[in-house]
Amino acid sequence: MPPTVATGPERSLKETYEPTGPQALHNEHMPGPDGFDHATRADGSVVITHHGRAATTLRGGRAAQFLAEVEDDDPQEVMARWTGNYRRGNERTARNHPRNR
């Protein structure tokens, strides 16, 4: 018996689309983070800036952990995560709420 392939509504989303890599986190409605930069100071601390303004300063073990992580992953994603400045997916909903008008 030959294998059957689901072609109609019974076809699952995973069968139709399975994103990988950094694209898996973002789509056309929610672009990836940008505008982040980091600088290492002489004392070993790391300053993360967002659009030219200091967002956070990491010192000691946290700075070393950040530098190791930024080398392995997408730097913009890592800096957004470490500063807490990442999209949560509910910005449009919150903007349209009657309380925020």
Number of independent structural domains in the chain: 1
| Residue indicated by tokens 């990988």 | 20
Q: The pTM is what?
A: 0.57
Strands in 1-101 per DSSP E: 36-40, 46-50, 53-58
pLDDT tens digits for range 1-46: 555 555 555 544 445 444 455 545 555 556 677 889 999 999 999 9
Residue 57 lies inside a defined structural domain of this protein = yes
Say if 59 falls within a structural domain.
yes
What is residue 96's predicted lDDT score, i.e. its pLDDT?
72
Report the Cα 51 to chain-centroid distance in Å. Answer: 16
Closest among 23, 84, 72 to 48, alpha carbons compared: 84
Q: 70 is in which domain, residue-wise?
A: 33-85
Within-domain flag for 43: yes
19 within domain boundaries: no
